[in-house]
C-alpha cells in the first residue's frame, strides 16, 4: 500500500491531469510500483524503467561510456543523464530518476555513505536535482526517498 505522501501526490497529479514516469536504479522499480497502487493511477502513471546495472544505464539510457567510471553509477551526474535521456523517449509531464546506495558494495565512501540517494526530477522546463542521506535498512532508505520525491512533486505542481 502506498504511503500517505505518495497517495497525496497521486491524487494531486490526477486532479491536475499530469502524467509521471520513472527511471530507477537503487529503488529497482519500487517507486513505479508504489505509484501504481493508488486508485486511478492508470490516469497518471506512464511507467518506468529499472536500470540497476551499469550496462543498462549505458546501453538503454545512453549514458555516455566513461561517465559512470568518472562519477560512479550512484552520482548526481548519472542520475541527471538518466532522467534527461529517459524523458526524451517518453510522453510524460514528469520524469523522476533515482540512484543511490542502499547497501555496502557500491561506490560508498566517507563523503558518500550508504544511505546516499540522488534524485533528478524533470517537470516540463524545470529540473530539480537533490542529494539526500537517509538512515535505516535498505527498504527504509528507499521508502524515505520515495516520500521525499512525492513531497517535492506536490510542491512543484
DSSP string, the chain: ---HHHHHHHHHHHHTT--EEEEESTTTTHHHHHHHTSTTGGGTEEEEEE--SHHHHHHTS-PPTTHHHHH-SSSHHHHHHHHHHHHTTS--SEEEEEEE-SSSSSS--SSS-TTEEEEEEEETTEEEEEEEE--S-HHHHHHHHHHHHHHHHHHH-
**3-56 residue pLDDT tens:** 999 999 999 999 999 999 999 999 999 999 999 999 999 999 999 999 999 999
**101-126 residue pLDDT tens:** 999 988 889 999 999 999 999 999 99
Amino acid at each position: 500500500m502506498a504511503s500517505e505522501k505518495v497517495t497525496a501526490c497521486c491524487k494531486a497529479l490526477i486532479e491536475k491531469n499530469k502524467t509521471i514516469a520513472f527511471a530507477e536504479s537503487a529503488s529497482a522499480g519500487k517507486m513505479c510500483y508504489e505509484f501504481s497502487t493508488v486508485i486511478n493511477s492508470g490516469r497518471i502513471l506512464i511507467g518506468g524503467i529499472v536500470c540497476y546495472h551499469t550496462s543498462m544505464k549505458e546501453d538503454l539510457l545512453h549514458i555516455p561510456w566513461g561517465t559512470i567510471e568518472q562519477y560512479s553509477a550512484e552520482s548526481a551526474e548519472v542520475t541527471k543523464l538518466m532522467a534527461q535521456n529517459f524523458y526524451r523517449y517518453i510522453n510524460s509531464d514528469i520524469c523522476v530518476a533515482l540512484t543511490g546506495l542502499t547497501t555496502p558494495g557500491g561506490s560508498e565512501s566517507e563523503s558518500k555513505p550508504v544511505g546516499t540517494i540522488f534524485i533528478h526530477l524533470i517537470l516540463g522546463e524545470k529540473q530539480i536535482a537533490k542529494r539526500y542521506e537517509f538512515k535505516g535498512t535498505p527498504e527504509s532508505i528507499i521508502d524515505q526517498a520515495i516520500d521525499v520525491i512525492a513531497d517535492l512533486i506536490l510542491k512543484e505542481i
